[in-house]
Structure formats: C-alpha cells, structure tokens
Amino acid sequence: ATSCNDVTKNKMTFSSRRRNYMLVSHRRDALIELIKQLLKHSFVLDALAESAENTWRHIEELIEEHRLSNDGTSRLREAVPTIGTFFTALPLARAWQRYDTKYKVSKRRFVSPSFNEIRQILNSAQILAFEKIDHDHSLRIENAENNHSSLEFVSFDGDCTLYSDGKNFNDAELAQQILRLLIRGIRIALVT
C-alpha cells in the first residue's frame, strides 16, 4: 500500500487521482471558501431555494463596495485579506439564477454547492458583466460614433471552468456568449 506522502510526491495520472481523491491536496480560494460558508446555512436548513439568491446579492454588494473603496479597506477585504481587484461589477444573483435553472442546485438535499460550481457561477457572472459592458459600449458607439472598446482580452481556464475535468466543451449558450465577444473584436484565450 502506498502512503499519502508517496502518492503526493509522485506525479499522478488522471485515474490514480480519482482513486486517491482524498489523499491529494485540493485547490483553495479564500473568496470561494467564504461563499461556500455563506451558502452553507441555507443548505443545512434546506432553504437554498429561498435564500441563495439573497446570499449572492449580498456577495455582489460586498464586491461592489470593495471595487469602490479608495483606500483598499472593505468588509470583503476583512473577510478575505488576500482578495484582489475586481475590474467589473459581477451580477452574481443573475448568474446563480441561470446556473440553478440549468443544474437545479437548490433542489439538492445531500450535496451542497461545490468549489467548482461556485467557481463556474463566478465565471458566468464575469461573462454576464462583459455582456453588459459590451451592450453599454454599443449604446455609447451609437451615441458618440466611437468604435474603441475598453475590453480587449478575456482569458478562460478550460478544465473545470468551461467544461468538466476530462470532458469536452459543449455549452451552446456559453459558446454564443464567447462568439459575441469574438465578433466584437475581443481576443479570447482558452488556457488548460
């Protein structure tokens, strides 16, 4: 039998990672961990369907407060000292609604929202924010006849963001959003 140290020292194949799931240290992100904690009470009380949207709205408010902070102090910074910079507002409640409509997370009773699901909701919110920026920009173009967009580049992580680990990208709605960005001349990078 291999010990935990032997498994983590050696390079593991995809199938050995699956077999030794509990032996491998997993990614951690303080913001995602905070969101998991904020959603946990709703899940434990079986009230995710009723209260998750309000939780996501609260997180939106925390992010917006952090974005507008001139001195770098915010409630979000206090909760997550390693938090970075947000360049756009994130419509998290809207992203949650779309994700929950598709995957019925709020209907589950035994599996709380996972790290990857929260990350996917954050990524979807970013796409929705770009869509709003692009729409607002299109309005400015019509009014000012100015074709220069402030958004020039978007980078996406492939595995576990655009598609499940080891799977193929097959989300038609997300593909349409990415296509809209490309049509408007925004460069897209897919990093795996």
DSSP string, 42-78: HHHTT-HHHHHHHHHHHHHHHHHHHHH-SSS--HHHH
Give me the phi and psi of 9, to 5 degrees please: -75, -40
CA dihedral 94, 99, 100, 104 (to 10 degrees): 170
Report yes or no: 109 and 144 within 8 Å, Cβ to Cβ: no
Q: Which residues are catalytic?
A: 157, 159
H or E stretch at 38: helix 30-44
In this structure, what is the dihedral angle of CA atoms 142, 88, 119, 135, given to the nearest 10 degrees? Answer: -10
Q: Which two tokens stand for residue 145?
A: 């006849």
Burial of 162 (0-12, 13-18, 19+ CB in 10 A): buried
Strand partners, 188: 154
